[in-house]
Structure 1
């Protein structure tokens, strides 16, 4: 089966005044403020499509533009690109989400899916009025996804009375295009794996060394088989590309230096308030550090886990992931200049060699 190549669509450009600054700040935690730029959404979506990517993710946070609306704008600007919209359980009723998903799927010709999340930060979900702890959010997600699925498939009215949701006479008047992958889900905990196995078509794999990746894929697929289901596997990758491996390593040094400098200046507090750092603080990853050092530690981790090299070298590493069982790779890289696009296109071309396109 061919490897699906995924990009991303943001509601607005990355923070930074120049292409060089934006390239560096992709490795910093995203500030909470983000506007909605219609030209950027449309252009980025078209570039994803033109450069040979199959799909793109629209991300979500409590203070960012609505991902369903950003996703619909990206879909309207393209004819082939599929869009996975990040959707957090708890922000709307499951029957409403089912109609949103089915409507956008129909309007786009079957090109949309929901990447369901439970929220990795207690503080961030509380900003939208969700006060449940993470264990309760997972339990609610099971009920939520069951109701969402039922709303997408039942052709008769139904009632439901559960722990978190009650509906009477629920019925959606439209269905998604048949045969699509509508739901993806991530989560490295046993609860997250089971939720994906029960409800999703795609499992978002956490970043792990290759032997652990193989082992986790085996566990996930075995869990899904226990429910009589199968899952495709998605892995997000941060990339730094250049014409040669040595040039890519030099680029990492330059970008890291710029990112650390830019986030320690007058704009530093914006980055220290990022949701990604809320999550790190709640997990105890940075309990004793000052805000500036928390940002710096995040940047160093981002570069440490990146795939760095020429398109040929990075394509070989991604090929190893594909051989291990990964079906979808998200190519997360700075695309600010014509050279950036040329490098991405070369990588895509190498990954396509000897393969056939996979339909959703």
Structure 2
């Protein structure tokens, strides 16, 4: 059994074929798709965060709105780039969104990927410390955030406050108990997966990772997940961790599906260089349901994960994306034992 949700990058463009022509379109359609996904039994609505791009960039208003309009679906990110974040302000936003959703926030954070502008975090007011890389800065921000959301007071209270204080040191408010266990780290390497296990956060592994041994992507991803879980067990955390992977999966059921996806796409792994690091990009899956099922049986990365995030073409609109999600839930997931 797996939790199955969708992952949206939240693109908008003025292309004639785009159903998402503006930021407002994407935000409102994201809420509508989360509601539709919950109604059909999907488990999660997740969103990618990119800055300086015509994509979703400020997740917490959207997550709060979805939390207020839904009752059971998990709402989350995959991922927030911590190079751009003020950890204390983020703790307040995350606490509020989690309380509005009544404890359904699943927050994926990471160092992030190359962005639209050079060193974009500088424009947000952040700079690595002396001897620190931007990745180090992201991990430092993440550690501060994780410490803050545990809920312990640390700030000296004003002896003459505007409002009465509770006793002791103060913390950012609102605090949401339990949120600390629903933070995920997006790891691109075995080393960062180990670091995530050391911190006691869940693991998000996408369709991109460092090419560490030349094996097929799904095999390397499965190895990374096992490495994460082994490290988690060695440390002795009390709870069991969660692990998600993301995939592009498109069942061909209609003439419309074949017009959109029938010519295939990236059906093989691809290798490239990102930030001077050799990276491997996982394949997509496009076929009739019976062929999809046969192909997905051999995907070791999916087999190792407890959560599958379906990357969606959000610019095709709410109705079509809801149809795609439902097609996978009905025609693919049961045969693979995911449902």
Is TM > 0.5 for Structure 1 vs Structure 2?
yes
> Counterpart of 2:326?
345
Q: Does 1:157 align with 2:154?
A: yes
Inter-partner Cα distance in structure 2 for 1:12 and 1:188: 23
Matches of 1:181 and 1:318, distance apart in 2: 30
**Bigger RCO (CA 8 Å, 6+ sep):** 1
Distance 1:239 1:121, change over 3 A: same
- The 3 A distance-change label for structure 1 pair 170 and 339 is closer
Shift of 1:53: 1.5
Unpaired runs of 5+ residues, structure 1, are 24-32, 160-168, 257-278, 286-300
Question: Can you give the 5+ residue segments of structure 2 that lack an aligned partner in the other structure?
Answer: 157-168, 208-215, 266-271
Q: Distance in 1 between matches of 2:132 and 2:290?
A: 43
Match of residue 128, structure 1, among 113, 124, 128 = 124
Per-residue deviation, residues 238-291 of structure 1 (Å, max 9, x unmatched): 1232028x99787546476xxxxxxxxxxxxxxxxxxxxxx9674488xxxxxx
Label 1:314 to 1:107 Cα distance change in 2 as closer, same or farther (>3 A): same
Shift of 1:330: 0.9
Alpha-carbon distance between aligned partners in 1 of 2:247 and 2:261, rounded to the nearest angstrom = 15
Partner of residue 74, structure 1: 66
1:144 is matched with 141
State the shift of 1:313 in Å.
3.4
Q: Quote the Cα distance in structure 1 between the aligned partners of 2:202 and 2:12.
A: 28
Pick closer, same or farther for the CA change 1:330–1:217 going to 2, 3 Å.
same
* 2:224 is the alignment partner of 1:216: yes
Structure 1 residue 226: Cα displacement: 3.2
**Which protein is richer in helix relative to its size?**
1
In 2: Cα distance, 1:250 partner to 1:40 partner: 23
User: Which 10-residue stretch deviates more, 337-346 or 185-194?
Assistant: 337-346
**Aligned alpha-carbon RMSD (Å):** 4.0
| Match 2:306 to one of 312, 315, 327 | 327
Q: How many residues align?
A: 300
Tell me what 1:100 maps to.
93
Q: How does 1:25-44 map to 2 (within 5 A)?
A: 35-37=23-25, 38-44=27-33
Structure 2 CA distance for partners of 1:284 and 1:91, relative to 1, 3 Å: closer
Offset, 1:143 = 3.3
Match in the other structure for 1:16: 15
Structure 1 window deviating more from structure 2 (309-318 vs 230-239): it is 309-318
Q: Deviations over 1:151-207 (max 9, x none)?
A: 222444368xxxxxxxxx551344324377421111223542233112353212243
Number of the residue aligned with 2:162: none
Task: Label 1:77 to 1:175 Cα distance change in 2 as closer, same or farther (>3 A).
Answer: same
2:249 maps to: 239
Equivalent residue, structure 2, for 1:4: 3
